[in-house]
Each structure stands twice: as structure tokens, then as C-alpha cells.
């Protein structure tokens, strides 16, 4: 049986103690053991046969258990949906709102929008739809560059017995701004602010949007309008303003904002300090980065992993690897565990410098301290493929699967592209089929590379088969 890490097992034990059973006469199973069983089944069975395999486990589901599994398999697409459907059929069980939301996010991620709206309709019939349901959908549509569909989602809320309110309005603006559609967000804000009374969150969302544009004059204009409207800047607003100024190369102005915060008895957060430290690192002002970190500690603000990662990034930028080791030791002394971001920052720096062997050493050391994420695996697989070491890339892939980590679209693409570059059409086709089985549509670039190889080898039959499998995936963007 595949073992999950002790860290994850402890985390699951903290989340919930036991899985619910059909009757009190049956033994209560430790939820970590139950989830381990489900993870193994879902990793080793295709979506089409998953129902049968799950039935054979004899597992009795609970809302907590289903939520844990769906969160774990958020990248698993149709496999996650088959589990969701299977769980719904179990006796004495009904999906929680959180389970529906997790599944909606997972389906939207792979653009299975028709099934996603089926779930919303199911929630409506049960009286479970709420504002957050629509905020999730708006966010996912906007991220997929489907702006019209995001606005449509907001407009149909009333049809689903969910009145539009300020939270939904903010959700729409946030979805648009985070996907770099701030001009559309501003247009909607100007046309609708008479219907909803904007709060500090509304203005902060627009402020962040113009910061991403980047358009500093417009950001200043929004900030001024916010103050005129009687909305006092809060810690979030100040943080956004510091971030905007730093990205605009005006770090010295950002420091003035920090002083303004002190004057207004608004204590800076580690996030704000991390932005300053990171910016100084980007600008190769390493001494200023260190001074800012020291000032933070003098002001009684305790460092966390976020600001440590910013300091590590600054040292990596300055090629001061010895200092990185010192920071890691200091983190260890303070009991602050590194995370996947820590690992990725160091690895990215080493790979950029051509130190790929050292990057792999960092990976092997860091996996003893923290769980890699999709970016970590994608980075490594791409690195070995570029080094013409596809066997090592496949080894990383197998390790990732042994840890029951579900690969993302980018992880699949990195390995398929690497295999295509080596002319390994068989393994590339197997991976592409697995990708499609999970409901993940390959990008045009990835499929195009494989298509060229198949035509070159005269395998139009395989190409036709793969085309048919892709066409099975739902393509409709939205419907009511």
C-alpha cells in the first residue's frame, strides 16, 4: 500500500478525527487510513472504471472525507468528478456546500463548464447556492480569459435565487482585476456604483487592478477617490499601494507610505516588508533588503516564511548562496519551516545560472522538509528534458505519482513536450491519453508537436483516435 507522508497524515488527523460509517455497529476507520485507500484507488484507476474500484473498497464516506479527497485531487478533473458522483450515491450521505464548491473549481479548471452549471442547478434545487458559488465561477471564467462569461455569471444570479449584493459585486471586480481586465472592471464599477455603495475592499480591488496594468496615475486617482468617498485606507489598501509603488520602481515612495502608516497607527505586516525586501533584491540593493528585514524585527514584527522567502530571493538574485544557507539555518532555529515557494525560489535561481546539478540536490534535500508543489515538479521535469535527460524527467514523474500528487496541465505539457523533442512518440501518446482521461485538454502547442510526430511516422490512425478523445470533452463555454 502506498504510504502518505507523516506530515500529511498528521495534517489529516488534525482536520478530522474519524470517518462516519453507515451504522454504529461497524468499526470506525481512521480517516488517514481511509483517505490513503481512496488516494491509491484514484491514482491507479481510469475514470471509466473508478466506480467499480471505489465500491470494492467498502469505504463509508462523510462530508469531511469527501472534502479532503476533492481538495487533494483538485487537478484530477474527471476522475475527481467520478468520485464526486460515486460519493453522492452512497447511503446516508449528501454533499456539503464546500464539496460542491471544490468540484465546481476543479471542473472550471479543466473548462468542463456544462457539467459545472449542472452542479449549480443541482445546488439550486437543494437551496444550497450562495454568493460564493458565483464568485468562484466568475473567478474561474476570468482566469480563462472569458470576460463575457464572468459578467454573465454575475447577471444571472437572480435566476438562481441569489440576490446580487456588494460581496458579489466585489467578487466580479476582483475576478476581472486579477485576470488583468481592470478596464472592464472600472467600466462596470462606474456604471454600477449607484446600485452598490463601495467599501474599502471595492476600492482596494480596483487599486490592485490598476497596479497590475501597470498604471500608477490611475491607481493614485482611485486612491484619491477612495479617501474622498470617506473610506479610510486599511492595512490591505496600504499593502496594495506599497506593492504598486515597488513594481513601478518607486520603492523610496513606498517607504514613505510605510512612514504614513506609522503616523496613522497602522502597523505594517510581514507582507508589506516582504514586498520591500523582494523589490530591493530585484534592484540589486541587497544592503537595503537586509536593513529593511532588520528594521522589521526591530519594530517587533516577527518574520514568517513569506518575508524569509523574499530575503532568500534577494540573496539568490545577488548570487550569495552562502547567505541563503544562513537564512535557512536561522529559519530552522526559529522553528519556521520552509515551504514549496522556498524550494522553488532557490531552484529557479540555480537553474537560471546553469547550476542544474545543484538545483536537483536542493530538491532532494528540501523534500525532507516540505511538500513540493506543481511548479516544483514542472520545473524539474522541464530542466531534465532541456538537459536531454528524459529518463530522469520520467523518474521525477514516477516519484511524483508515488507521492500521489496529481499533475497539472503544465506538468503534463512539460513532459509531453520533452518526449516529443526526443521523438518518443509512444510515451508521449500514453501521457496525452492519460491527460485527456483526467479531463484536461492539451494546449494547441503541445498537441501540435505530437501531431507532427504522428504524421511523420504515418500514424494518422492514432492521431484520429486522440482527436476523438479530445472531442468527447465538453466544449460549451456556458449555458443557462
pLDDT digits (tens, 9 = 90+) for 121-136: 999 999 999 999 999 9
Cα torsion angle, 277, 281, 285, 291, sign: positive
How is 108-145 classified by DSSP, letter by letter? HHTT-HHHHHHHHHHHHHTT---HHHHHHHHHHHHHTT
For residue 404, pLDDT beyond 90? no
For residue 193, pLDDT beyond 90? no
Buried residues in 62-98 as b, exposed as e (16+ CB within 10 A): bbbbbbbbbebbebbbbbbbbbbebbeebeebebeee
Across the chain, mean pLDDT equals 89
Is the CB of residue 226 less than 8 Å from the CB of residue 219? Answer: no
Q: 48: closest CA among 476, 472, 478? A: 472
pLDDT confidence of residue 187: 97
Residue with cell 492595512: 235
Whole-number percent of the chain with pLDDT over 70: 92
Identify the three-state secondary structure at position 420.
helix
Is the CB of residue 147 less than 8 Å from the CB of residue 176? Answer: yes
Q: How far apart are CA 373 and CA 349, in angstroms?
A: 17
How far separated are the first and last CA of the chain, in Å rounded? 44
Cross-strand pairs, 18? 30
For residue 19, pLDDT beyond 60? no
DSSP designation for 231: -
Q: What is the mean pLDDT of residues 167-179?
A: 97
pLDDT confidence of residue 476: 42
For residue 469, pLDDT beyond 90? no
Degrees to nearest 5, angle at CA 171 with 166 and 172: 100
In degrees and rounded to multiples of 5, residue 30 shows phi and psi of -65, 130
Q: How far apart are CA 250 and CA 287, in angstroms?
A: 17
Burial of 370: CB neighbours in 10 Å, binned 0-12, 13-18, 19+: middle
Domain residue limits, the chain? 1-95, 388-480
For residue 372, pLDDT beyond 80? yes
pLDDT confidence of residue 429: 95
For residue 276, pLDDT beyond 50? yes
Determine the distance from the C-alpha atom of residue 151 to the mean position of all C-alpha atoms in its chain, rounded to a whole number.
22
pLDDT band for position 4 (cuts 50, 70, 90):
very low
Q: 261: closest CA among 236, 281, 285, 278? A: 236
Identify the three-state secondary structure at position 310.
helix
For residue 290, pLDDT beyond 90? yes
pLDDT band for position 174 (cuts 50, 70, 90):
very high
The predicted-structure confidence for 244-260, as pLDDT tens digits, reads as follows 999 899 999 999 998 88
pLDDT band for position 374 (cuts 50, 70, 90):
very high
pLDDT confidence of residue 16: 30
Cross-strand pairs, 30? 18
Long-range contacts of 440-444 (CB under 8 A, 24+ apart): 440/75, 440/77, 440/110, 440/409, 440/412, 441/110, 441/111, 441/470, 441/473, 442/409, 442/412, 442/413, 442/416, 442/470, 443/409, 443/413
What is the maximum span of the chain, computed from C-alpha positions, in angstroms? 73
pLDDT confidence of residue 473: 63
pTM assigned to the model: 0.75
Amino acid at each position: 500500500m502506498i504510504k502518505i507522508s507523516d506530515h500529511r497524515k498528521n495534517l489529516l488527523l488534525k482536520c478530522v478525527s474519524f470517518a462516519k460509517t453507515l451504522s454504529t455497529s461497524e468499526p470506525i476507520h481512521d480517516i488517514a487510513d481511509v483517505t490513503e485507500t481512496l488516494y491509491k484507488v484514484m491514482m491507479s484507476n481510469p475514470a471509466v472504471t473508478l466506480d467499480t474500484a471505489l465500491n470494492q473498497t467498502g469505504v463509508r464516506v462523510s462530508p469531511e472525507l469527501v472534502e479532503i479527497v476533492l481538495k487533494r485531487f483538485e487537478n484530477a478533473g474527471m476522475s475527481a468528478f467520478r468520485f464526486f458522483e460515486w460519493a453522492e450515491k452512497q447511503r446516508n450521505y449528501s454533499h456539503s456546500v464546500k464539496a460542491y464548491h471544490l468540484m465546481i473549481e476543479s471542473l472550471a479548471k479543466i473548462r468542463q463548464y456544462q457539467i459545472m452549471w449542472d452542479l449549480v442547478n443541482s445546488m439550486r434545487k437543494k437551496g444550497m447556492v450562495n454568493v460564493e458559488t458565483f464568485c468562484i465561477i466568475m473567478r474561474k471564467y476570468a482566469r480563462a480569459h472569458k470576460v463575457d462569461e464572468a459578467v454573465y455569471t454575475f447577471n444571472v444570479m437572480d435566476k438562481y435565487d441569489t440576490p446580487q449584493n456588494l460581496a458579489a459585486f466585489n467578487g466580479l471586480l476582483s475576478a476581472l482585476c486579477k485576470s488583468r481586465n481592470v478596464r472592464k472592471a472600472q467600466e462596470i464599477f462606474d456604471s454600477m456604483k449607484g446600485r452598490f455603495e463601495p467599501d474599502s475592499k471595492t476600492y482596494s480591488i480596483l487599486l490592485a487592478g490598476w497596479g497590475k496594468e501597470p498604471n500608477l496615475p490611475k491607481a493614485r486617482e482611485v486612491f484619491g477617490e477612495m479617501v474622498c468617498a470617506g473610506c479610510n485606507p486599511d492595512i490591505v489598501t496600504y499593502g496594495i499601494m506599497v506593492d504598486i509603488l515597488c513594481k513601478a520602481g518607486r520603492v523610496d515612495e513606498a517607504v514613505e507610505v510605510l512612514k504614513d502608516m506609522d503616523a496613522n497607527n497602522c502597523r505594517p505586516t510581514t507582507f508589506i516588508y516582504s514586498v520591500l525586501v523582494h523589490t530591493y533584491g530585484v534592484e540589486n540593493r541587497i544592503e537595503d533588503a537586509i536593513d529593511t528585514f532588520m528594521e522589521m524585527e526591530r519594530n517587533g514584527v516577527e518574520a514568517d516564511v513569506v518575508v524569509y522567502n523574499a530575503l532568500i530571493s534577494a540573496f539568490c538574485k545577488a548570487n550569495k548562496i552562502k547567505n541563503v544557507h544562513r537564512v535557512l539555518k536561522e529559519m530552522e532555529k526559529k522553528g519556521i519551516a520552509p515551504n514549496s515557494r522556498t524550494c522553488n525560489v532557490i531552484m529557479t535561481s540555480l537553474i537560471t545560472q546553469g547550476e542544474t546539478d545543484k538545483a536537483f540536490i536542493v530538491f532532494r534535500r528540501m523534500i525532507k522538509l516540505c511538500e513540493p508543489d506543481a511548479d516544483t515538479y514542472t520545473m524539474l521535469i522541464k530542466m531534465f528534458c532541456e538537459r536531454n535527460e528524459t529518463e530522469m524527467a520520467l523518474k521525477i514523474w514516477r516519484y511524483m505519482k508515488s507521492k500521489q500528487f496529481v499533475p497539472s496541465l503544465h506538468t503534463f505539457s512539460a513532459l509531453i513536450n520533452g518526449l516529443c523533442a526526443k521523438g518518443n512518440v509512444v510515451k508521449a501518446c500514453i501521457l496525452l491519453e492519460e491527460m485527456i482521461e483526467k479531463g484536461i485538454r492539451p494546449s494547441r502547442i503541445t498537441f501540435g508537436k505530437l501531431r507532427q510526430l504522428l504524421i511523420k511516422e504515418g500514424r494518422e490512425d492514432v492521431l484520429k483516435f486522440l482527436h476523438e478523445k479530445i472531442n468527447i470533452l465538453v466544449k460549451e463555454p456556458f449555458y443557462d
